[in-house]
Structure formats: C-alpha cells, structure tokens
C-alpha cells in the first residue's frame, strides 16, 4: 500500500509538472498556429475556446477535471480529439517495441548468463565486447547502418509500416498482410533490440557474477551439483532482482526511446507522432504524449516494486 500510495503521489506531481511545463514556454498553442490568414480576432477566439484566456489556476483546475474524465483535449492543427490521435500510433508502436524488447531480453539474458558462467574465457570476452559495442552505439546511427547494409542485402523495406500497393490490385490474404507488416517491423525492432541487448547482457553478467560468488553456490559445488544446474537453479534465480529492475525501467523508458528509431525508419508510431507534434508545435498533443510517457515509467516502476515481494520475500518495505 505504501508503494501504491507513493506511485499515486508521483502521478499527481507528474500531472502538475506537465501542466506547468507547457505554460512556462513562450507563447501558447494558438500563437504557434502556422496560418497566414488567421486574424488577431480569430486567434483570440481560439484562446477563449481553449480556455487560455483564464488564469493559470483556473486553467489547471480545468486541466485536472478534463483528465478525470479521460479528456485530453483537442489537437490545435487538426481540431480532432487528442485521444483519437494517439490510438493508431500506439497500436503501431507497441508490437514493434514488444518485438525488440523480447529480442533484447532473450538474447541479452542468455549471453549474460553464459558470459558469467564462462568468465575469463574467449566466450566471455566475445559476449562482453559485443554487448559493450551495441550498448555504446547511438540508436539513430545503428538504424542508418541497418538501412544501408542490411535492408537491401536481405530485401527488407527500410521505411513505413506497410506496402502501399498491397491489397489494392490483388486480394491479399490476412497472412500476406501479416508478413508484410512484419517485414516493415523487423529493422526498427532489431535496432531497438540490439541497443537494449547490450544493456541486458552487461547487467545480467554483473548480477550473475555477484551471485555465483556467494557461499551457497560454493556449498552447491561441494555437494557435487553440475555447473549448469548451479547456474540455472542457484545463480539465475537469485540474480532476478536486478533483471526485473532493468526490464521495468526499459519498458517504461522504451516508448520515449523509440522516437529516434521511428524517425529514422519513418515508422508511424508514437515516436514519429512526437516529432511531428513538435514540428507543428501542437501543445495539447505533446502534453498528452509526455503525460503518457511519464505514466508508463511510473507504472512499470510500481510493477517492479510489487514483483520484488514475489521474487524476494526478504523485501518488506
């Protein structure tokens, strides 16, 4: 209950800071309109419609009241509800993010465990140097390298989310549409997964090395247990806490971290929508995106805290 209460308090603070952040900027959503024929009277009417003519305290109360009704306001350029503007990009981003994160968790954990198990060998050095290399690579640079050297070599599309002509002149089956979507998703997901892979491999290796040096592991060796049984039953299970933390943090921040990936690959997800909203100075849409990113970080951190009680009964506070 203490963790949940602290998470709710953090949500309230995040909502308040999200409101203050966009009011601290010079100008407002109406002054950012790129309209040559917009008169001063029109812009003033827009400010009254959006409630920007009221005091900051009244605007804050209206903002919180709207959030309580799950009303995120309207996009200024399109005049459409922000909630509707977010649906399709989120539906596009989540499968790509899930695929890349799953790749990073599986291969990063596997390489980290094997490197710790074979510490000091060529296998360990190879896994360590590979993880450090991908961990150090800028995401956008890695994406460009995959476009230049991988996309054309294996025949994968390097932009968009689907082939525009697919299904227009032929009756494409659901399987063909699924395969086409996967082809467009592989390179962005691989870029995201490779960068995260280095992070996972390094953390898992460090956690495993610390665990394998404990006394109970030495006792297990003295009992004659095989190395892999010790690694699986005693090492990995007791190294789960830092791995859970890393998974929760990466899932929270990954939505924001996909901005550069989606921009490089012109992938129409939440990241690309953020870039377009910045370019259009669409403050209500940006405010909703920032709030969504903040809430995702808070939620996954709370989830990690609650999972600690399951994996380690010694955690009581």
Which residue would you say has higher pLDDT here, 173 or 36? 173
Cα–chain center distance at 281: 22
Which residue would you say has higher pLDDT here, 239 or 197? 197
**Residue 171 pLDDT greater than 70, yes or no:** no
Residue with tokens 């709370």: 302
How far apart are alpha carbons 108 and 132 in whole angstroms?
A: 12
Q: For the chain, how far is it from start to end, CA to CA, in angstroms?
A: 10
**Residue 303 pLDDT greater than 70, yes or no:** yes
Query: Which band of pLDDT confidence, cut at 50, 70 and 90, is reported for residue 281?
Result: confident
What are 116-147's pLDDT values in tens digits?
A: 888 888 988 998 899 999 988 888 899 899 99
- CA 188-190-195 angle, 5° bins: 105
Highest mean pLDDT among 103-117, 159-173, 278-292, 295-309: 103-117
Which residue, 263, 256, 259, 249, is CA-closest to 300?
249
How far apart are alpha carbons 252 and 57 in whole angstroms?
A: 30
How far apart are alpha carbons 114 and 110 in whole angstroms?
A: 6
Predicted confidence at residue 91, as pLDDT, reads 87
Highest mean pLDDT among 10-14, 66-70, 174-178, 230-234: 10-14
Does residue 190 sit in helix, strand or coil? helix
How far apart, in Å, are the Cα atoms of 53 and each of 41, 44, 61, 168?
A: 13, 8, 14, 48
How far apart are alpha carbons 63 and 223 in whole angstroms?
A: 64
Predicted confidence at residue 46, as pLDDT, reads 66
- Show the tokens assigned to 223: 């009992």
Predicted confidence at residue 246, as pLDDT, reads 75
Query: Which band of pLDDT confidence, cut at 50, 70 and 90, is reported for residue 29?
Result: low
Q: What is the pTM of this model?
A: 0.80
Beta bridge partners of 74: 81
**What string of DSSP letters covers 44-108?**
HHHHHHHTTTS-HHHHHHHHHHHHHTT---B-TTT-SBHHHHHHHHHHHHHHHHHHHHHHHHHHH
> DSSP class of residue 265?
T
Residue with tokens 């490089």: 264
Predicted confidence at residue 37, as pLDDT, reads 55
Which residue, 233, 235, 229, is CA-closest to 208?
235
- Show the tokens assigned to 54: 């009221």
Residue with tokens 């709030």: 291
Query: Which band of pLDDT confidence, cut at 50, 70 and 90, is reported for residue 257?
Result: low
Predicted confidence at residue 156, as pLDDT, reads 85
Residue with tokens 């990073």: 104
Mark 119-153 as b/e (b = at least 16 C-beta within 10 Å): eeeeebeebbebbeebbebebeebbeebbeebbee
Which residue would you say has higher pLDDT here, 246 or 83? 83
Which residue would you say has higher pLDDT here, 160 or 29? 160
**Residue 314 pLDDT greater than 70, yes or no:** no
Which residue would you say has higher pLDDT here, 103 or 80? 103
Predicted confidence at residue 133, as pLDDT, reads 92
């Amino acid at each position: 209950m203490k963790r949940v209460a602290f998470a709710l308090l953090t949500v309230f603070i995040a909502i308040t800071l999200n409101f203050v952040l966009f009011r601290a900027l010079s100008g407002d959503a109406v002054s950012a309109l790129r309209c040559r024929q917009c008169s001063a009277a029109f812009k003033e009417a827009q400010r009254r419609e959006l409630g920007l003519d009221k005091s900051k305290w009244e605007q804050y109360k209206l903002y919180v009241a709207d959030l309580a009704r799950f009303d995120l306001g309207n996009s200024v350029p399109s005049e459409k509800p922000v909630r509707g503007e977010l649906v399709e990009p989120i539906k596009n981003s989540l499968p790509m993010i899930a695929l890349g994160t799953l790749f990073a968790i599986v291969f990063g954990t596997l390489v980290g465990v094997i490197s710790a198990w074979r510490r000091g060998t060529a296998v360990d050095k190879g896994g360590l140097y590979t993880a450090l290399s991908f961990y150090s690579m800028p995401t956008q640079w890695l994406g460009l390298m995959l476009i230049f050297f991988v996309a054309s070599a294996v025949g994968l599309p390097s932009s968009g989310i689907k082939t525009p002509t697919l299904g227009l002149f032929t009756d494409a089956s659901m399987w063909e549409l699924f395969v086409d979507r996967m082809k467009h998703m592989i390179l962005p997901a691989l870029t995201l997964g490779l960068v995260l892979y280095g992070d996972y491999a390094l953390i898992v290796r460090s956690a495993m090395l610390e665990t394998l040096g404990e006394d109970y592991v030495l006792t297990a060796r003295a009992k004659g247990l095989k190395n892999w049984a010790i690694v699986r039953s005693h090492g990995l299970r007791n190294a789960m806490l830092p791995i859970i933390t890393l998974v929760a943090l990466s899932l929270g921040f990954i939505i924001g971290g996909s901005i550069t990936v989606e921009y490089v690959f012109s992938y129409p997800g939440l990241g690309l929508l953020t870039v377009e909203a910045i370019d259009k100075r669409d403050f209500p849409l940006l405010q909703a995106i920032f709030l969504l990113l903040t809430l995702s970080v808070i939620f996954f951190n709370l989830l990690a805290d609650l999972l600690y009680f399951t994996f380690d009964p010694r955690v009581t506070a």
